[in-house]
């Protein structure tokens, strides 16, 4: 598995190539491989595809292609598999970039952290190696309390032992909580008198109101905002490396899953300067919805030089492994900061969600709602219905409201998605990374219905499947593997009935992903007239043993006919 994040970043810097851009009249004929069009629900192979001026101009037999395009440059696939370029249904491009300025605290197999002592050693080493002076912020990312030997979050007291003179904030792997040390808490004025914000929790020391260091959901927002502001100065430095990292994994369209106005402006400036080699899609933040809609210079759903702002992202609840996702039934294990009926918590009130839906629907603004627990799904279904009724709009209007993660949506809620013409974007990587924890925390029945792609497809939905990077690594091949096999770290199957076919797993990151983003006319299938966005794999995911899917390698990534990565 391609889990060494920094190795891949380093590798992609030297492997991603500009390629030779075809002249205006040139064309390329791809042949002698397993060419899968992804056009229908049934598998369709063709002998040849011809690209010209960045678009697909022919799909069919090799003989006919050679007759119609006699001067096409032959591109012998030598038995490799050609697919539409992978489309990222949901990740955080900006956060992936920001990790380059942070301490890597991921557990195996992503990193090497096994316990809190390892975290402390890594922090100390980072300060010394980078000669960071006292008083300067230090950030870490990717720690996972569930994978630590101590089975707990580090505390401010732990971090103070090695970094007493630097403010520190460590982001949890879920992205929904983090830990600050004493100086970090002091810098942002968190103390015993600080009240929990709505939708958030500040964990306290036993028998005290003194913060332990752990801040969850909305309570972490000041720390994340501070981190992003400090790291913003390095955006341009890391931008090319980040998009090369995406391209090295076969991705021709990436997503930034929640983007503030400053970063939107930065992304557009990069696109206008011609630095984009892949398409990049941003989701604006819900806190800026009103101002974004009022700004006529901000255009939604339209590419400009390879970049577009698609819609608005709402964060409606938290993390299931972090026990902040909102459920109708309680967690089965202890929850930090909660004594009884611990069902997690919504990030927003029902009234706030209702208002966001009404505003977005009134302005034809596509919504993407982060939603893990079934109680939160109930909230967004209610908000959808109320907004439609108030605006006198059909319940099933083609808005393509996307329920991001929808990890523990119930069967009845999937039927409501069909009724309301909403689509889920699932997260089967959870089966591997936290499936064992979900069984303990939620029970087998709920855990087994995690990211129910098979059930959703049977109902006629078009589910996508994502990495949510930095929560899990950018690696579409691994995402296919988790959807097909659903193995946990310990080797148990999390939901036998929800194991997908490899083809459905591919649809989730090609044709269905294009549909999610209103891009089905541009990309997602090998169809005449669409962009020549391709990924070449060394093996066919449909023909190898399901367990061997994760060993498949990306050989080449092609964006609009130009090679942007070659192994």
- Residue extent(s) of CATH 3.10.310.70 domains in the chain: 93-230
The CATH class of 1-85+524-567 is mainly beta
Nearest to 446 by CA among 456, 458, 437: 437
pLDDT digits (tens, 9 = 90+) for 468-521: 999 999 999 999 999 999 999 999 999 999 999 999 999 999 999 999 999 999
Exposure string for 197-229, b = 16+ CB within 10 A, e = fewer: eebbbbbbeeeeeebbbbbbbbbbbbbbebbbe
- Helices marked H in 197-294: 221-231, 235-248, 261-272, 289-294
Question: Could you tell me what percent of the chain has a pLDDT over 90?
Answer: 89
| Residues linked to residue 148 through DSSP beta bridges, in sequence order | none
Q: Which residue has the tokens 């503030």?
A: 260
Could you please state the CATH topology (level 3) that the domain comprising 316-523 is classified under: TIM Barrel (3.20.20)
Task: Compute the average pLDDT of residues 194-200.
Answer: 93
Name the pTM for this structure.
0.88
Q: Lowest mean pLDDT: which of 56-65, 331-340, 528-537? A: 331-340
pLDDT of residue 229: 87
Higher pLDDT: 498 or 8? It is 498
Task: Compute the average pLDDT of residues 187-216.
Answer: 94
- Residue extent(s) of CATH 2.30.40.10 domains in the chain: 1-85+524-567
Could you please state the CATH topology (level 3) that the domain comprising 93-230 is classified under: Diaminopimelate Epimerase; Chain A, domain 1 (3.10.310)
How far is CA 240 from its chain centroid?
A: 19
Task: Compute the average pLDDT of residues 42-69.
Answer: 97
Instruction: Give, for 55, the enclosing helix (H) or strand (E).
Output: strand 55-60
pLDDT digits (tens, 9 = 90+) for 363-412: 999 999 999 999 999 999 999 999 999 999 999 999 999 999 999 999 99
pLDDT digits (tens, 9 = 90+) for 305-322: 999 999 999 999 999 999
pLDDT at 22 over 90: no
- Residue extent(s) of CATH 3.20.20.140 domains in the chain: 316-523
What single string gives the DSSP state of each residue in 263-289?
A: HHHHHHHHHHTT--SSEEEEEEEGGGH
> Residue 49 in contact with residue 72, Cβ under 8 Å?
no
């Amino acid at each position: 598995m391609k889990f060494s994040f920094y190795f891949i970043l380093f590798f992609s810097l030297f492997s991603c190539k500009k390629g030779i851009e075809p002249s205006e009249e040139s064309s390329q004929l791809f042949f002698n491989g397993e060419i899968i069009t992804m056009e229908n629900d049934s598998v369709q192979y063709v002998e040849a595809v011809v690209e010209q001026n960045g678009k697909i101009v022919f799909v069919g037999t090799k003989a006919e292609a050679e007759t119609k395009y006699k001067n096409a440059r032959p591109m012998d696939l030598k038995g490799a598999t050609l697919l539409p370029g992978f489309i990222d249904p949901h990740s955080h491009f900006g956060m992936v970039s920001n990790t380059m300025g942070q301490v890597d605290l991921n557990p195996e197999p992503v990193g090497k952290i096994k316990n809190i002592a390892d975290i402390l050693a890594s922090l100390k080493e980072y300060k010394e190696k980078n000669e960071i002076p006292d008083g300067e912020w230090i950030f870490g990312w990717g720690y996972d309390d569930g994978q630590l030997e101590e089975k707990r979050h580090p505390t401010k007291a732990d971090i103070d032992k090695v970094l007493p003179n630097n403010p520190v904030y460590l982001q949890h792997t879920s992205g929904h909580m983090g830990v600050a040390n004493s100086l970090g808490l002091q810098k942002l004025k968190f103390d015993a008198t600080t009240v929990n914000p709505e939708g958030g929790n500040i964990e306290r020391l036993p028998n005290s109101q003194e913060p332990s260091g752990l801040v969850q959901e909305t309570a972490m927002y000041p720390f994340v905002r501070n981190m992003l502001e400090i790291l913003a100065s390095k955006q341009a430095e890391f931008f090319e490396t980040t998009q090369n990292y995406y391209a090295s994994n076969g991705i021709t369209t990436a997503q930034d899953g929640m983007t503030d106005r400053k970063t939107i402006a930065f992304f557009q400036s990069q696109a206008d300067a011609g630095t984009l080699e892949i398409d990049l899609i941003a989701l604006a933040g819900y806190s800026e919805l009103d101002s974004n809609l009022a700004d006529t210079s901000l255009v939604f759903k339209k590419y400009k030089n390879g970049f577009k702002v698609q819609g608005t992202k709402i964060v409606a609840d938290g993390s299931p492994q972090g026990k902040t996702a909102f459920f109708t039934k309680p967690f089965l294990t202890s929850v930090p900061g909660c004594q009884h009926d611990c069902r997690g918590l919504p990030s927003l009130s029902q009234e706030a969600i209702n208002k966001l839906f009404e505003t977005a629907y009134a302005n034809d603004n596509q919504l993407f709602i982060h939603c893990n627990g079934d109680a939160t799904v109930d909230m967004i279904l209610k908000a959808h219905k109320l907004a439609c009724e108030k605006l006198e709009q059909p319940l099933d209007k083609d808005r393509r409201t996307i329920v991001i993660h929808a990890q523990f949506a119930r069967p009845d809620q999937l039927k409501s998605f069909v009724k309301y013409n909403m689509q889920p974007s699932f997260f089967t990587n959870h089966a591997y990374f936290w499936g064992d924890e979900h069984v303990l925390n939620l029970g087998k029945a709920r855990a087994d219905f995690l990211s129910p792609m098979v059930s959703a497809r049977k109902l006629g939905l078009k589910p996508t499947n994502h990495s949510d990077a930095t929560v899990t690594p950018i690696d579409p091949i691994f995402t296919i593997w988790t959807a097909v096999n659903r193995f946990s770290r310990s080797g148990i199957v999390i939901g036998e009935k929800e194991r997908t076919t490899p083809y459905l797993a591919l649809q989730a990151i090609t044709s269905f992903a294009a549909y999610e983003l209103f891009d089905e006319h541009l990309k997602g299938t090998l169809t005449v007239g669409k962009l020549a966005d391709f990924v070449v794999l060394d093996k066919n995911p449909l023909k190898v043993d399901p367990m061997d899917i994760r060993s498949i390698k990306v050989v080449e990534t092609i964006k609009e006919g130009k090679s942007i990565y070659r192994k």
